[in-house]
Amino acid sequence: MTFGARLAAAMDEHGPLCVGIDPHESLLADWGLPDDASGLRSFAQIVMEAVGGRVAAVKPQAAFFERHGSAGVAVLEEVVAAGRETGTLVIVDAKRGDIGSTMGAYADAFLRDGSPLAGDALTVSPYLGFGSLDPAVDLALSSGRGLFVLCLTSNKEGHEVQHARTADGASVASLMASRAAALNAGSDPMGSIGLVVGATVGDAAERTGTDLTAVNGPLLAPGVGAQGAGAAELTAVFGAARRQVLASSSRGVLRAGPDVASLRTAALEASSEAAAALR
């Protein structure tokens, strides 16, 4: 099955929620864990025990693993393996973006069969030009994996690039969305090239002329829960594209830890709330 088909099935079975695995230094401290590779491993194991096999996807943020060097990257590999063992889709949030052979090497690391870092999908940045992602697109589609391409992000600086207009008057964000749509054309139930669209961007899609319903791929929506986005915000941002949305919650779920049962309850509640808002 393609990534788009597997994700659609997981969202139908478990609800449209992705749990972010973001082991901030402060969160490790809140959980009584040391800010080192051993604390990172305990954190990741607790999260996967709580949500593995119970939510549609998890999204480890690579930077919080990489900051611990090779030992931290080894823990990221363990998260990818735990996802496979529990039947939970893993979106590696690494936001890679480069050109030529360098982009090819990133693709090889995160999308190649047999790579210990290869989850089910990878977040990527298209702002060296969408075509710079071709090595990742080709390998993702040939290996049954997916991509989530940054499109409309919630950081305050994002509009400087994403809302800018090209020579023909189209916004950069709308161009990114149209390129993803072309790659997903004809896919059923949806394609494997998704977009990242912040759940707190308000009417940015409308203002930039970005047609999210035409993408025919998954829409990863960070910012649900602790960052302020709920049912009203999701409706305002995504409108008729709501069924394509995979809501992502990190702090909203993780603050319930380190107790496994409490984490599991928080994740299941967040999943139910996302389903009510989006389904």
- Parallel, antiparallel, or unpaired for β 57-60 and 146-152? unpaired
pLDDT for res 26 = 96
Tell whether the model's pLDDT for residue 279 goes beyond 90: no
Query: 195, 177 in Cβ contact below 8 A?
Result: yes
Instruction: Write the pLDDT tens digit of every residue in 34-52.
Output: 999 999 999 999 999 999 9
36 φ, ψ (degrees, to nearest 5): -150, -175
Tokens of 147: 């991509």
Give the active site residue among 24, 54, 84, 95. Answer: 95
- The answer to whether the Cα torsion of 5, 126, 66, 62 is positive or negative is negative
Instruction: Write the pLDDT tens digit of every residue in 161-192.
Output: 999 999 999 999 999 999 999 999 999 999 99
Catalytic residue status for 95: yes
How far CA 160 is from CA of 144, 148, 165, 199, 256, in Å, comes to 34, 20, 10, 18, 36
pLDDT for res 224 = 79
Residue that has been written with the tokens 């809140």 in this structure: 30
Tell whether the model's pLDDT for residue 196 goes beyond 60: yes
- CA 13/CA 25 separation, integer angstroms: 33
- Which among 171, 191, 174, 175 has a CA at the least distance from the CA of 183? 191
With bands split at pLDDT 50, 70 and 90, how would you rate the model's confidence at 232?
A: confident
Instruction: Write the pLDDT tens digit of every residue in 121-133.
Output: 999 999 999 999 9
pLDDT for res 264 = 98
pLDDT for res 225 = 63
* pTM of the complete model: 0.97
Tell whether the model's pLDDT for residue 227 goes beyond 70: no
Q: Which CATH number fits domain 3-278: 3.20.20.70, 3.40.630.30, 3.10.20.30, 1.20.1250.20?
A: 3.20.20.70
Q: Which residues, other chains included, contact 167 with Cβ-Cβ below 8 Å and sequence gap of 6+? A: none
* C-alpha triplet 155, 241, 195: angle, nearest 5°: 45
- Which among 112, 62, 55 has a CA at the least distance from the CA of 87? 55
Tokens of 264: 């599991």
Tell whether the model's pLDDT for residue 61 goes beyond 70: yes
- CA 260/CA 160 separation, integer angstroms: 41
